[in-house]
């Protein structure tokens, strides 16, 4: 128990937080809670590395810059937590203990990280999780840019409300996973990039396309299924390079080497996608 307690105390010192609680839910489980109040920050970088369990991200209420609660298995994992006030960077999560052998990872592990960040501070997000489920609600945040990498997991990312600021880029890399990204019309990102390995990737472009804007995207699909969900009022142009991948052409007409939606010339908001697909299926859904 002394070694487990020492690791928890080291994590507390690294986090440098205003609030901390620790409890043993079982013999090897530890819980760390942390928070920091707003102190005039103009930016925030969030770097999450989470090996296994469930990761949740949502907007924080009140005057908190961030709040976090982490429950981890101290026998196999090391907590990762530090806020650098000079660079306004939060690094948090869990990594596998280097001395661990024969660890059987499971996506139904009770291990979890719940993180909330301020919607008032522009945030750059770097989120990486392995065999972990993710529930990430970016709606109402100030997302300046985001990079998400998943391993083998079933995850959801959503912009339930419009982004408060314009976003430089939103990048997604998916391994052998099932990932649903909803409300990309609310993301307000100039560039969207997605790489799918061997899984099911759904990109939902519904949301508040509030202005005359052209968003560009690049999608690469290895082996799997890509589902594209478009609102009927959005003008869509696709440039598709496919090897053995099928493509659902409903709602499109061929124009040269590209496919354009039948309403493309009359719409205010437009989306241009370059798709490189090897083996799999490309489905298109048009929604109100």
Tell me the domain boundaries of the chain.
1-118, 138-288
User: Using 50, 70 and 90 to split pLDDT, how confident is the model at 7?
Assistant: very low
Q: How far is CA 218 from CA 57, 158, 167, in A?
A: 25, 19, 16
How do the residues of the chain divide into helix, strand and coil, expressed in percent and rounded to 5? 5, 60, 35
Q: What is the pLDDT of residues 179-194, one digit of tens each?
A: 999 999 999 999 999 9
User: Using 50, 70 and 90 to split pLDDT, how confident is the model at 20?
Assistant: very low
Q: What is the pLDDT of residues 49-106, one digit of tens each?
A: 999 999 999 999 999 999 999 999 998 999 999 999 999 999 999 998 766 555 555 5
User: Using 50, 70 and 90 to split pLDDT, how confident is the model at 247?
Assistant: confident
The proportion of the chain whose per-residue pLDDT surpasses 70, expressed as a percent, equals 86
User: Using 50, 70 and 90 to split pLDDT, how confident is the model at 216?
Assistant: very high
Judged against a pLDDT cut of 50, whether residue 160 lies above it is answered with: yes
The Cβ of residue 235 has, within 10 Å, a number of other Cβ atoms equal to: 20
Tokens of residue 115, six digits: 């993180």
Judged against a pLDDT cut of 80, whether residue 288 lies above it is answered with: yes
Cα of first residue to Cα of last residue in the chain, in angstroms, is 57
User: Using 50, 70 and 90 to split pLDDT, how confident is the model at 243?
Assistant: confident
User: Of 50, 86, 81, nearest to 66 (Cα)?
Assistant: 81
> How many angstroms from the chain centroid is the CA of residue 170?
9
Question: Are the CB atoms for 224 and 198 separated by under 8 Å?
Answer: yes
Judged against a pLDDT cut of 50, whether residue 140 lies above it is answered with: yes
Q: What is the mean pLDDT of residues 20-35?
A: 67
φ/ψ (deg, to 5) at 7: -65, -40
Judged against a pLDDT cut of 90, whether residue 277 lies above it is answered with: no
Q: What is the pLDDT of residue 48?
A: 97
pTM of the predicted model, to two decimals?
0.85
φ/ψ (deg, to 5) at 6: -65, -40
Q: What is the mean pLDDT of residues 220-229?
A: 90
Judged against a pLDDT cut of 50, whether residue 8 lies above it is answered with: no
b/e burial code for range 192-220 (CB count within 10 A of at least 16 → b): bbbbbbebbbbbbbbbbbeeeeebbbbbb
Distance CA 114, CA 199 (A): 25
Q: Please, how many CA atoms are within 13 Å of residue 165, restricted to the half-sphere of its CB?
A: 16
Average pLDDT, the chain: 86
């Amino acid at each position: 128990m002394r070694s487990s307690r020492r690791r928890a105390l080291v994590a507390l010192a690294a986090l440098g937080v205003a609030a901390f609680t620790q409890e043993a839910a079982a013999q090897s489980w530890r819980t760390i809670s942390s928070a920091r109040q707003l102190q005039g920050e103009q930016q925030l970088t969030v770097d999450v590395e989470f090996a296994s369990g469930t990761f949740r991200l949502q907007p924080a209420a009140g005057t908190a810059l961030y709040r976090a609660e982490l429950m981890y298995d101290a026998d196999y994992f090391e907590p990762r937590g530090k806020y650098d006030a000079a660079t306004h960077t939060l690094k948090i999560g869990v990594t596998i203990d280097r001395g661990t052998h024969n660890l059987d990872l499971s996506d139904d592990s009770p291990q979890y990280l719940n993180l909330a960040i301020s919607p008032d501070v522009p945030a750059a997000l770097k989120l990486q999780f392995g065999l972990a489920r993710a529930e990430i609600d970016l709606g109402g945040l100030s997302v300046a840019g985001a990079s998400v990498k998943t391993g083998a997991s079933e995850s959801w990312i959503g912009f339930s409300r419009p982004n408060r600021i314009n976003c430089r880029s939103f990048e997604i890399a998916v391994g052998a996973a099932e990932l649903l990204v909803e409300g990309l019309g609310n993301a307000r990102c100039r560039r969207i990039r997605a790489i799918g390995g061997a899984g099911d990737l759904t990109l939902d472009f519904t949301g508040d396309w509030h202005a005359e804007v052209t968003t560009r995207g690049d999608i690469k699909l290895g082996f799997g299924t890509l589902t594209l969900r478009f609102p009927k009022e959005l003008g869509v142009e696709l440039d598709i390079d496919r090897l053995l991948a099928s493509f659902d052409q409903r709602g499109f007409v061929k124009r040269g080497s590209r496919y354009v939606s039948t309403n493309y010339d009359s719409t205010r908001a437009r989306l241009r996608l370059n798709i490189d697909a090897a083996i799999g299926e490309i489905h298109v859904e048009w929604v109100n």
